[in-house]
Chain A
Amino acid sequence: DTGVSQDPRHKITKRGQNVTFRCDPISEHNRLYWYRQTLGQGPEFLTYFQNEAQLEKSRLLSDRFSAERPKGSFSTLEIQRTEQGDSAMYLCASSLGPAAHTGELFFGEGSRLTVL
């Protein structure tokens, strides 16, 4: 499978715990995006990488959230001290070149977080 893969697919955790999600983009894609989606809403932009550089970060991304893409390939999204409001589907997407040209982001199937 050469698509975007995310791990884990599901995570249930207790409030206050830390969680980390991993995203492996399509291999030749240099741009990587993280989004969060809750039921009945569209994906909300969290952050964006071009290669290893984090170029854009949403105000939604509080100090408890951090994302990295150390070698310009896979990325991790860590949430510290989770809160019930963090419960959502965390979607990773990648693109080859500027998305403005084709608009095409390739999404993974997402990592669903449930905070108890």
Chain B
Amino acid sequence: RKEVEQDPGPFNVPEGATVAFNCTYSNSASQSFFWYRQDCRKEPKLLMSVYSSGNEDGRFTAQLNRASQYISLLIRDSKLSDSATYLCVVIVLTGGGNKLTFGTGTQLKVEL
């Protein structure tokens, strides 16, 4: 089983739609959680942090469920510019420091 699992998609949605992605992680010792965005042929960039209490940034809402070991990302009122791959990231504190593990990514295509 992979440490971090995501539905690869693609999710094809019309502009203005609401779309949600889930990500599950296997290591119960995971400490911190984030969503990254990666545009085609570009490097990943941090989108937002994920907290148990939820985190909202404009049209984006991230949520963590520690008991079920999954995190989610909700995008409201999708824009064409939201088309990208969304990567779930889990951090485990190891003896050597921090190990950031990325999921496989979920591809989103927003269409007219």
| Residue ID in chain A nearest B46 by CB atoms | A104
Identify the A interface with B (CB < 8 A): 31, 33, 35, 40-45, 48, 50, 55-56, 91, 98-105, 107-110
Residues of B contacting A56 in the complex (Cβ-Cβ under 8 angstroms): 94, 96-97, 99
Q: Decide if B43 touches A107 in the complex (CB within 8 Å).
A: yes
Nearest CB on B from A56, distance (A):
4
| Interface class of chain A by DSSP | mixed
Tell me the count of chain B residues lying within 8 A, CB to CB, of chain A: 28
Name the interface residues of B83-100: CB closer than 8 Å to any CB of A: 87, 89, 91, 93-94, 96-100
Q: Assess whether B99 is in contact with A48, with CB atoms less than 8 Å apart.
A: yes
Asked if B61 is at the interface (CB within 8 A of a chain A CB), the reply is: no
Sample (17) of A-B pairs whose CB atoms are under 8 Å apart? A41-B105, A42-B87, A42-B103, A43-B44, A43-B102, A45-B100, A45-B101, A56-B99, A91-B44, A98-B97, A100-B93, A101-B32, A103-B33, A103-B91, A105-B46, A105-B100, A109-B43
Known contacts A41-B105, A42-B103, A42-B104; is A100 also within 8 Å of B44 by CB?
Answer: no
Q: Residues of B with Cβ closer than 8 Å to A?
A: 4, 6, 8, 31-34, 42-46, 49, 87, 89, 91, 93-94, 96-105
Which 3 pairs from chain A and chain B are nearest by CB? A55-B96, A42-B102, A103-B34
* Contact partners of B44 in chain A: CB under 8 A: 43, 91, 105, 107
CA distance A42 to B34 in the complex (A): 14
* A48–B99 alpha-carbon span in the complex (Å): 8
CA distance A98 to B91 in the complex (A): 10
